[in-house]
Amino acid sequence: MRHLLATRELSYDHALAILDTAQEMATVSDRSIKKLPTLRGQTVVNLFFEDSTRTRTSFEAAAKRLSADVLNFAVKTSSVSKGESLKDTVQTLEAIGGDAIVMRHWASGAAQQLANFGWSSSAIINAGDGTHEHPTQALLDAFTLRNRLHGTQATGKDLNGVHVVIVGDILHSRVARSNVWLLHTLGAKVTLSGPPTLMPVGVNTWPVEVNYDLDGILAQHPDAVMMLRVQAERMAGAFFPSPAEYTRGWGLTNDRYQTIADTDTLIMHPGPMNRGLEISAAAADSAQNTALEQVANGVSVRMAVLYLLLAGQPGQ
C-alpha cells in the first residue's frame, strides 16, 4: 500500500491486513505507557480544510502513540487564506519534512488528485473528501463490528453473512459510500434506507439493497443499524419537509428502538450524533450503541494504517 484513498479500491487482503494489524495495535491502549517506537523520526502532517474533532485528534493520537512527530496545519491561519494552491501548500509541508499527509478536503477527489499528480512523494491518507469517501471511518466501523461479533477470536475473520443497515442521508455521506464498498468486500450484506430524495443517483448500481420500509427492516433484527447525521451544511435545498417529518420517517425513535431493544442488533453512528433527530436519547445511551467504541477503535485503526504505509507491508 502506497496510499489510502478509498475503500472501493481496497482489496480483501489489504482490508483484513489493516483490521488484523489494528487488533495488535489495540493492545497498546491497555499498557501503562501507550507508546511504540515504530515511527520515531517520521512526521505526520494533518492537513484539514474542513472542521474536524474526532478524525483529526484520532490521527494525532495514533501518530503520537507510534512515536511520530505531528504537524497540525490550520488552514484558516495559513497561506491558503491568501490564495495559495493545494499543490504549493502540500509541497511546502513536504519540504518541512512530512512523511505522511492526512488530508480532509471539501472537494471530492482531492486526495486522489494529490496522490496521482506527482505533487508529493509522501504517503497520502484520505481523511474525507467532499461526499466521496472516508476510508478510515469505514475501517473503524468494520473493526468495531467484527470485535462485537467475534470478540477475542476476531483476528483473521471477515464479515461474511453479516447484515448491516445504513439509514439516513446517503446522498451527502462519504461515510456511507466507504462503508458500502468495504462491507461488500468483507462479505457483508448492506441495506440502505432513507428518504428517496437523499438517495444518490445510480445507487441501483451499488452492491446494496435499497429498502424504504425502515420499520420492516428493523423487524428483521439486522446485525447492525448505522444511523447517519443529516448533513444540512451540504444541502442547497429542501430534501424533506421538516426535521420532525424526517424523525418520524427515518429516525431511530423510542418506538423504533423498542423493536430492537432486546435483540443483538448493534446501533452504530459515525458521529456527531444529533439526538432527537436521527437517534433518540434512549437509543444513543443504550448498551447496544457502539459510538464511543468506534471513537476508541479509530485510534487503533489509524495506527495500523500509518504503520502499514510508513513502516510495514501486509504479510510482513
Which parts are annotated binding residues for carbamoyl phosphate? 54-55, 104, 134, 137, 271-272
SS3 295: helix
Nearest to 186 by CA among 206, 156, 225: 156
34 Cβ contact partners less than 8 Å away, ≥ 6 residues apart: 28, 65
- The CA-CA-CA angle for residues 184, 186, 189, to 5°, reads 45
- Residue 25 C-alpha cell reads as 495495535
H or E element in which residue 307 lies: helix 291-310
Q: Which segments are annotated as binding site?
A: 54-55, 82, 104, 134, 137, 174, 229, 271-272
Nearest to 68 by CA among 297, 299, 310: 310
Neighbours of 52 (CB within 10 A): 15
Q: Provide the terminal-to-terminal Cα distance of the chain, rounded to the nearest Å.
A: 12
Neighbours of 30 (CB within 10 A): 7
Nearest to 253 by CA among 231, 227, 288: 227
Residues 290, 126: Cα–Cα separation, whole Å: 23
Supply the DSSP string of 61-109, one letter for each residue. Answer: HHHHHTT-EEEEEEGGGSGGGGT--HHHHHHHHHHHT-SEEEEEESSTT
- Residue 124 C-alpha cell reads as 497520502
Q: Which segments are annotated as binding site for L-aspartate?
A: 82, 174, 229
Supply the DSSP string of 249-288, one letter for each residue. Answer: HHSB-HHHHHHHTTSS-EEE--S---BTTTB-HHHHTSTT
- Residue 153 C-alpha cell reads as 477470536
